[in-house]
Amino acid sequence: MVALTTFTTVTGDTVTIPVPVEFMDRQVEVTIVPIEENGNWRDVASNGTELARLLQQMAEAGGIASIEDPVAWQRGQRSDRPLPGREDT
């Protein structure tokens, strides 16, 4: 499947997006996500840098290898806990 990510400006009630030939005469799904007013599309593209920094930080902390007992850790993650907004009966 071919996917397209692009940034454009909405003019009035119209969005114009150049599309590859593979998309012509086909139904497509379009999702519009506004960018913060003080940002621009280059700011959105830089999020990969933040992700890389966080992954590096996680690796330096030992990552998955730092979990002494993976089975106990997983059991703890899956343990039952009260659902938000519901009281125990």
Domain boundaries, the chain: 21-77
pLDDT, one tens digit per residue, over 14-35 is: 888 888 888 889 898 888 888 7
Contacts 24+ apart (CB under 8 A), 12-19: none
Q: What predicted TM-score, i.e. pTM, was given to this entire model?
A: 0.35
Tokens for 6, please give them: 């692009």
Confidence of residue 1 (pLDDT cuts 50, 70, 90): low
| Phi, psi for residue 3 in degrees, rounded to 5 | -120, 155
